[in-house]
Amino acid sequence: MEEITMNYIVLDLEWNQSPSGKKRIFKSLPFEIIEIGAIKLNENFEIIDKFQETIRPVIYPHMHHISQEVTGFTTSELQHSRRFPDVFRQFLSWCGTEEYRFCTWGPLDLTELQRNMNHYHLPLFPAPVFYYDIQEIFSQLKEDGIVRRSLEYAVDDLHISHQGDFHRALVDAYYTARVMSAFSIDEVLPRYTVDTYQQPRNRKEEFYISYGTSSKYVSQAFPSKPAVIKDPEVVSMKCCICQKRLRKKIHWFTENSKNYYALAYCSEHGFLSGKIHIKKNDSDYYFAIKELTLTDQKGADLLFERKKDYQKKRNQRPKLTGSLSNESILKH
C-alpha cells in the first residue's frame, strides 16, 4: 500500500493596515500582506525547509505607524520587493505537491491570506480549509483551552531558546513550529480546526468536525442574523458520541445577540453544552459556528446559573414596546 505523506506548513504573515482616520479604500481588504514566512515540517514534525519573502505594498503603500512599529519595516524598505501575486505563486509552489496542512499562531493569518488572494482574483484554497491553530492547541494542552497567550509567552513557557526578534514572519513561523513540535504528534493531530473565510455554499457542504466528546459545525451563510438562529440545523443539538438529536434543557439564549448558549441531555452520554457564535462575512451575510461539548453536572449547573442571571438582568430592564427584543429566548 502506498503511504500518503503529510507535511505541515507553519505560516506567519506580516501586514500593513489601511490608513487610520480615512475610510478604508477596500472594505474587504483591511490588511495588506507585506511578508510571508513559513517553515515546512514533515509528518514527524521535523523542520525540512523554510520560506521568507517580503512584499511591496501597493494598496496601502505607506506603512501605518502601528504596522511599522510592530514589524520594523519602513515604507522605503519594501519598495524593491515584488508584488503579492508573484510572491504568493512562489510560496504556493514552495508548499509542494505533497499533501499539506497549514498551521498558524491564532486564527487570523489564513483569513487575511485569502482576503489578499481574493483581491487579486487568485483561486482560493479548496474549502473547507482545515488547519492547526497552535495558539488554541497551546491553550488546550497547557491551560484551560480558553485563554489565548502571545507567541512569546508560549516560547518562554516551553523554554525554547530565542532565535531572533518576534514579529518578523520567518522568526514567528519558526517559533510557532517549535511550540507545535514541543507537543506529541498524537496530541496535536486530532485538534485541527477550520478557517471560516469561505463558508459552505449549501447545506450539503456545511463543515462538521468531531473531536470525540466535542464537535464543531460551521453553517452556510444567511442574509440576516434572525435567519441564522431560526435555522433548524443551526439550533439542533446532536450528541457528540451517538449523534442522537437531543431535547434541550435550556433553550438558546443570548446576552449580546452574538453568542448563544444552550444545554441538552443525552440519556446515554449525559449533558451537552452548546455555544453558537454568529459571524458576519465580507458580503454582509451571517453564519454560525456551533460548538457542542459533553459536560458534567457542574458544567450544567454553571449554565443554569448563567441563564438565571441573564433572566434577572432582562427583567430589570425597561420593557421594550412595539417590537420584539432580538435577545428573546428562542424555542426550538
Residues within the interface to Zn ion (CB under 5 A): 239, 241-242, 266, 268-269
| Alpha carbon distances (Å) from 45 to 63, 104, 177, 190 | 35, 14, 8, 14
State in angstroms the smallest separation of the CB of 243 from Zn ion. Answer: 7
CA distance 115 to 28: 7
Q: Are 217 and 207 in contact (CB under 8 A)?
A: yes
Residue with smaller CB distance to Zn ion, 266 or 288: 266
State in angstroms the smallest separation of the CB of 306 from Zn ion. Answer: 23
State in angstroms the smallest separation of the CB of 191 from Zn ion. Answer: 22
State in angstroms the smallest separation of the CB of 331 from Zn ion. Answer: 23
Residue with smaller CB distance to Zn ion, 151 or 294: 294
CA distance 293 to 324: 31
Q: Are 155 and 178 in contact (CB under 8 A)?
A: yes
Residue with smaller CB distance to Zn ion, 87 or 237: 237
Residue 152: enclosing H or E segment and its boundaries?
helix 151-157
State in angstroms the smallest separation of the CB of 315 from Zn ion. Answer: 34
Residue with smaller CB distance to Zn ion, 101 or 269: 269
Beta strands across the sheet bearing 286-295? 207-210, 214-218, 286-295, 270-280, 259-266, 248-254
Count CA atoms within 13 Å of residue 67 on its CB side: 25
State in angstroms the smallest separation of the CB of 250 from Zn ion. Answer: 18
Residue with smaller CB distance to Zn ion, 94 or 265: 265
Residue with smaller CB distance to Zn ion, 168 or 238: 238
- 165: phi then psi, degrees, rounded to nearest 5: -70, 140
To 10 degrees, the CA torsion angle through 219, 223, 225, 226? -100
3-state SS class at 233: helix
